[in-house]
Amino acid sequence: MQDRGPIVPRARSSDLAFGHLPGELLVYDQRNHRAHCLNDTAARIWQHCDGQTAIPVVAEWLAAEWQAPVDDAFVWTGLDQLARAGLLEDTIGPGHALPPSRREFLRRAGVTAAGLALPLILTMVPGSTALAASCRGAGKPCSASAQCCSGLCSGGVCVGGGVAPLGGPSRRR
């Protein structure tokens, strides 16, 4: 298979409106009239998607900013949610599957490193007053691991600790 080089995600920049809160970023997508609330982690990952920087380098930048170990898998978790929310250009399609090694790492690591909140995106769907989270927290029902913030669905329930609560701000210890 031909090597197409590293993936360099690019954040969308057009047809978007913003609102800023401490630790949260509000984004209104004028293409589909959906609104999103990104926690600090998701917002930082998104802001580093400049279309030129490979994922390992993004992880290094974030590790330096947060003074905490951040690996590719953590960044991939955010990118997957950003893609599902339609906030990336077509560098990564929605539902892009994590490589098995990274999924395994998430399962072993139990989700977060050094107390970092997982990237979390709440989405308001047009015509609905219900907020939908990009992933499900610990204890929530699931049918596939990709649905869980932890990356692990076991026995029909999302498992894993250190998950940011639904709608809650991200926190660093």
Partner 1 sequence: MDILYSLRVGVPGSGPNGQRFNLLEGTRKVARATTVDALGAVFATDLELTMAATTSRRLFVHAGVVGWRGRAIVLPGRSFSGKTTLVLALVRAGARYYSDDFALLDAGGRVHPYTREPSVRPHGSDTGVRVPLTALGGRVGRKPLPVGLVLISEYQPDAAWQPEPLSPGAGALALLAHTVAARTQPAIALTTLSAAVIQATVLQGPRGDAESVATTILSHIT
Site residues, partner 1 (CB under 8 A): 17-26, 28, 30, 33, 35-37, 39, 122, 124, 128-129, 131, 166-169
Q: Within the chain, where are the H helices?
A: 40-47, 55-66, 72-84, 100-109
**In angstroms, what is the minimal distance from the CB of 4 to partner 1?**
36
Q: Which is nearer to partner 1, 37 or 70 (CB)?
A: 37
Q: Which is nearer to partner 1, 112 or 123 (CB)?
A: 123
Q: Are 26 and 37 in contact (CB under 8 A)?
A: yes
Residue 112 has which token pair? 């977060």
Q: Which is nearer to partner 1, 33 or 172 (CB)?
A: 33
Q: Which is nearer to partner 1, 15 or 104 (CB)?
A: 15
CB atoms within 10 A of CB 91: 15
**In angstroms, what is the minimal distance from the CB of 3 to partner 1?**
40
**In angstroms, what is the minimal distance from the CB of 11 to partner 1?**
17
